[in-house]
């Protein structure tokens, strides 16, 4: 075979990039990716898919925007749909560039996308309660004038929300420095606080990111960005024309219109199970469990790597977070049966 020097044409920032790790082990209980554990069959949402595949999808995904608009009381002009919220994060960084500021540990895609696009990333360590280090964060905004600030609240992988007062202060200072603040509310449906949608009317540098992935529809790939039409028009310049396919638009629209009461029931069940799981974990010797407002729980245990491997051997997959939070694992809330099996196995590993 004729060969060529592939390395010589790869951009330097891509050479140094570690891709998002999705390690798949075939496990009977999958509690690693913050998905909903409740199966959703297509036939529960639509009987017949009434679309013609010879045509491109609606580039504006208007029906889906209308469904979101009705349910969450947001104007369609203030919504942009993405192929998952990942895609919208990508578009934001592509549009506004850097520096991109975010606290760590957090969702790894902010940093991965910034690096792939080739913009500067600034990371500020969370404090010991996994809240924003206010002084450092505000100093960084003032000194570095980031184009974008990402705040995942509730935060992945820690599970807590950031203090609302701190977030508000950040938005107020950011607006003076012409920085956009993106509150990533991927886990908001599981959270007891009201979130930041009500503040959109007060700050035009504020964007909210939401997704259908955590509430039962991860297979569809639908995320949405909410903000001023002025900002969305700019982001729209880099959006690929048909980024959300016709099947996804159709199914997601029907899911929001006709299946949402079921989704809400699943969410309530997950919150109930999270409280049970939290209590159970806190009673296991050798484990430190952190509070959660999301559909997963972070916990610390010595030998977390060994525990992770033993859980896999027992057919249970959780996420090893030890590279970002020492000795820690993140477990997604599953069904009652899955959670019971997980707790039983974990107890056996630790105590047996
Ligand atoms: N934001 C956060 C905080 C997440 O944890 C995730 C998924 N892990 C995403 C965004 C991406 O979600 P989506 O499936 O919508 O791309």
d(CA 262, CA 273): 17
Ligand 1 pocket at CB < 6 A: 34, 84-86, 107, 152, 156, 184, 186, 211, 213, 223
Residue 21 has pLDDT above 80, yes or no: no
Which domain covers residue 123, as residue numbers? 53-258
Measure Cα distances from 304 to 108, 235, 347 in Å.
Answer: 20, 41, 13
Q: How many domains does the chain have?
A: 2
- Residue of the CA atom closest to atom 12 of ligand 1: 85
- Looking at residue 74, its pLDDT comes to 96
Q: Once rounded to an integer, what is the mean pLDDT over residues 201-208? A: 97
For the CA of 86, the closest atom of ligand 1 is 16
Q: By mean pLDDT, which of 21-35, 129-143, 244-258, 293-307 is the weakest?
A: 21-35
Separation of CA 221 and ligand 1 centre (Å): 10
For the CA of 223, the closest atom of ligand 1 is 15
β-pairing verdict for 29-30 and 79-82? unpaired
- Looking at residue 20, its pLDDT comes to 77
Instruction: Return the SS3 of 349.
Output: helix
d(CA 340, CA 145): 48
For the CA of 222, the closest atom of ligand 1 is 15
Separation of CA 212 and ligand 1 centre (Å): 9
For the CA of 218, the closest atom of ligand 1 is 14
Where does the pLDDT of residue 50 fall: very low under 50, low under 70, confident under 90, or very high at 90 and above?
confident
Residues 253 and 301 in one domain: no
Where does 201-242 have alpha helices with state H? 229-236
Which among 233, 258, 283 is the end of a domain?
Answer: 258
Which among 217, 238, 258 is the end of a domain?
Answer: 258
190 within a domain of the structure (yes/no): yes
d(CA 64, CA 298): 34
pLDDT in tens, 71-87: 999 999 999 999 999 99
HSE-up of 81 (CA within 13 Å, CB side)? 28
Separation of CA 261 and ligand 1 centre (Å): 22
Instruction: Return the SS3 of 157.
Output: coil
Q: Which of 34, 80, 86 to mutate to test the pocket of ligand 1 (most atoms within 8 A of CB)?
A: 86
128 within a domain of the structure (yes/no): yes
User: How many other C-beta atoms are found inside a 10 Å radius of the C-beta of residue 131?
Assistant: 16
| Cross-strand bridge partners of residue 102 | 123
90 within a domain of the structure (yes/no): yes
- Looking at residue 25, its pLDDT comes to 75
pTM of the model: 0.96
Separation of CA 213 and ligand 1 centre (Å): 7
φ/ψ of residue 300, rounded to 5 = -110, 140
Residues 325 and 192 in one domain: no
Residues 188 and 119 in one domain: yes
pLDDT in tens, 233-283: 999 999 999 999 999 999 999 999 999 999 999 999 999 999 999 999 999
In angstroms, what is the C-alpha Rg of the chain?
21
Q: Once rounded to an integer, what is the mean pLDDT over residues 42-53? A: 93
Averaged confidence pLDDT in the chain: 96
Residues 195 and 227 in one domain: yes
Residue 171 has pLDDT above 80, yes or no: yes
215 within a domain of the structure (yes/no): yes
Separation of CA 152 and ligand 1 centre (Å): 9
Residues 33 and 135 in one domain: no
Say which CATH number the domain at 337 has.
3.90.1150.10
Separation of CA 210 and ligand 1 centre (Å): 8
Residues 69 and 117 in one domain: yes
- Looking at residue 351, its pLDDT comes to 83
Separation of CA 301 and ligand 1 centre (Å): 26
- Looking at residue 190, its pLDDT comes to 98
d(CA 37, CA 34): 9
Residues 121 and 243 in one domain: yes
Separation of CA 111 and ligand 1 centre (Å): 13
- Looking at residue 11, its pLDDT comes to 92
- Alpha carbon of residue 29 to chain centroid: 21
- Looking at residue 22, its pLDDT comes to 67
Q: What is the percentage of the chain residues whose pLDDT exceeds 70?
A: 99
For the CA of 214, the closest atom of ligand 1 is 14
pLDDT in tens, 68-125: 999 999 999 999 999 999 999 999 999 999 999 999 999 999 999 999 999 999 999 9
For the CA of 82, the closest atom of ligand 1 is 15
Residues 171 and 227 in one domain: yes
2 within a domain of the structure (yes/no): no
Residues 115 and 181 in one domain: yes
For the CA of 213, the closest atom of ligand 1 is 14
Residues 100 and 198 in one domain: yes
Residues 227 and 322 in one domain: no
């Amino acid at each position: 075979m004729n060969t060529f020097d592939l390395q010589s044409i790869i951009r330097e920032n891509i050479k140094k990039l570690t891709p998002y790790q999705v390690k798949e082990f075939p496990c009977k209980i999958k509690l690693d990716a913050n998905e909903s554990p409740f199966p959703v069959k297509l036939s529960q949402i639509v009987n017949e898919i009434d679309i013609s595949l010879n045509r491109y999808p609606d580039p504006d995904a208007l029906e889906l925007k209308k469904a979101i608009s009705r349910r969450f009381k947001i104007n369609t002009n203030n919504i942009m749909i993405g192929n998952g919220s990942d895609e919208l994060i990508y578009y934001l960084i592509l549009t506004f560039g850097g520096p991109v500021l975010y606290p760590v540990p957090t969702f790894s895609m902010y940093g991965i996308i910034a690096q792939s696009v080739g913009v500067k990333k600034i990371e500020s360590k969370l404090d010991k309660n996994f809240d924003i280090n206010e002084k450092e964060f505000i100093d960084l905004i003032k000194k570095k004038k980031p184009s974008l600030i990402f705040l995942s609240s509730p935060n992945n992988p820690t599970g807590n929300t950031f203090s609302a007062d701190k977030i508000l202060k950040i938005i107020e200072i950011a607006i003076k420095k012409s920085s956009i603040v993106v509150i990533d509310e991927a886990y908001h449906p599981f959270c007891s606080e009201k979130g930041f949608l009500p503040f959109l009317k007060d700050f035009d540098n504020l964007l909210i990111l939401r997704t259908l992935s955590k509430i039962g529809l991860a297979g569809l790939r639908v995320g949405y960005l909410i903000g001023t039409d002025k900002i969305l028009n700019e982001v729209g310049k880099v959006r690929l024309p048909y980024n959300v396919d016709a099947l996804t638009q159709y199914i997601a629209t029907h899911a929001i219109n006709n299946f949402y009461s079921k989704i809400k029931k699943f969410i309530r069940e997950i919150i109930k199970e999270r409280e049970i799981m939290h209590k159970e974990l806190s009673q296991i010797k050798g484990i430190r469990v952190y509070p959660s407002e999301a559909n997963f729980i972070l916990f610390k245990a010595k030998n977390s790597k060994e525990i992770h491997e033993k859980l896999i051997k027992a057919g249970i997959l959780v996420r090893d977070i030890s590279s970002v939070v020492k000795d820690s694992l993140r477990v997604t809330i599953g069904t009652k049966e899955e959670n019971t099996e997980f707790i039983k196995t974990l107890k056996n590993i630790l105590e047996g």
